[in-house]
Amino acid sequence: MRPSVGVVVPTRGDRPGPLRAALTGVLAQEYAGPVEVVVVADGVSASLVAQQVSGVAGSATCPRAGSEAGGAVRSVRVLGNRRAAGLPGARNTGISVLGTDFVAFCDDDDLWLPGKLAAQVAALAEEPDAGFASCAVEVEYGDRRVPRLAGTGRVTHRHLTRSRMMMVHSSTFLFRRGWTWVDESAPSGQNEDWDLALRAAWRHPIVHVDRPLVRVRWGSSHYVGRWADRIAGLEWMLARHPGLAAEPRGAARVYGQLAFCHAALGRRREAARWSLRAFSARPGEPRAAVALAVAGGLVSPRAVLHALHRRGHGI
């Protein structure tokens, strides 16, 4: 029998349609091993979420439903977040109750595409020393879908310090159970996935299937526009991973993001200070220039993000 896989799907219960679609995408995977899905309700009643997903696995009962796909067992259960409130605690709650060989994440507004699970399990089987896998994504924003590839089959720690590598996205994560946990100290859950990927890559390069096997849906994230949270998350990353500041390109990117966030909040002096640091690390850093334009009132942060998102990019 193929290795068993547990899938953690955190939700706040405020987007039942996308949640049901996410679960359908997971349960429809043509994978010969058992798949157990744990939906973790964060800040909302587990009973409410259970009602929202009732019937997805072929049953009208609420807390747990079972079915078979291609002879392999599929199950879904819903429980409340038992750890720190927020996304990291919800993910760890799911990990803690699973006894499967592998653990995977899928955010409640994203969609696994056909072949995702089988391709990643096979890739990890070919490299027994590796414990963590990701895959390329397809970014959906409005009426556009843009593939984001890594251009490599191995994502190293240096890759992730030089660039956020957004295709190494939480909804692509598959790892051996016991390999890692999410850091619950991430402020407002910001950058917990980047931190997790960096720690995993430090142990062993991440096995990456460079095909878009997850559709990442932008536009409904709980973090869009929460500039103060983004600032706290970026400063947390700089403190937690000193290597980010030691890599000029990566440092300039983070400093430029901090400049943009401060500019979006109308903090011109802070935006100028971080822009200067970005230019010092990497002359011509585009995020710093954009931040100064936002600080000067030449363009709105919303307009910048809209233009970038339509190209499958973030700030």
Q: Are residue 173 and residue 275 in the same domain, yes or no?
A: no
Q: Are residue 59 and residue 159 in the same domain, yes or no?
A: yes
Q: Are residue 168 and residue 249 in the same domain, yes or no?
A: no
Assigned domain for 222 exists: no
Pick from 217, 246, 272: which residue ends a domain? 217
Assigned domain for 48 exists: yes
Q: Are residue 18 and residue 137 in the same domain, yes or no?
A: yes
Residue 66 has pLDDT above 80, yes or no: no
Burial of 157-168, coded b for 16+ CB within 10 Å and e otherwise, reads: bebbbbebbbbb
Assigned domain for 292 exists: yes
CATH number (domain holding residue 187): 3.90.550.10
Q: Are residue 213 and residue 266 in the same domain, yes or no?
A: no
Assigned domain for 156 exists: yes
Pick from 161, 187, 217: which residue ends a domain? 217
Identify the domain containing residue 112 by its residue range.
Answer: 5-217
Assigned domain for 314 exists: no
Per-residue model confidence as pLDDT tens digits over 13-59: 899 999 999 999 999 999 999 999 999 999 999 999 999 998 886 43
Q: Are residue 130 and residue 261 in the same domain, yes or no?
A: no
Assigned domain for 265 exists: yes
Q: Are residue 186 and residue 256 in the same domain, yes or no?
A: no
Name the pTM for this structure: 0.93
Per-residue model confidence as pLDDT tens digits over 124-167: 999 999 999 999 999 999 999 999 999 999 999 999 999 999 99
Identify the weakest region by mean pLDDT among 64-78, 79-93, 127-141.
64-78
* Mean pLDDT of the 81-98 span: 97
Pick from 217, 248, 275: which residue ends a domain? 217
Domain count, the chain: 2
- Check the CA dihedral 30-34-40-45 and report its sign: positive
Q: Mean pLDDT, the chain, as a whole number?
A: 93
Assigned domain for 138 exists: yes
Q: Are residue 165 and residue 47 in the same domain, yes or no?
A: yes
Per-residue model confidence as pLDDT tens digits over 246-295: 999 999 999 999 999 999 999 999 999 999 999 999 999 999 999 999 99
Q: Are residue 101 and residue 46 in the same domain, yes or no?
A: yes
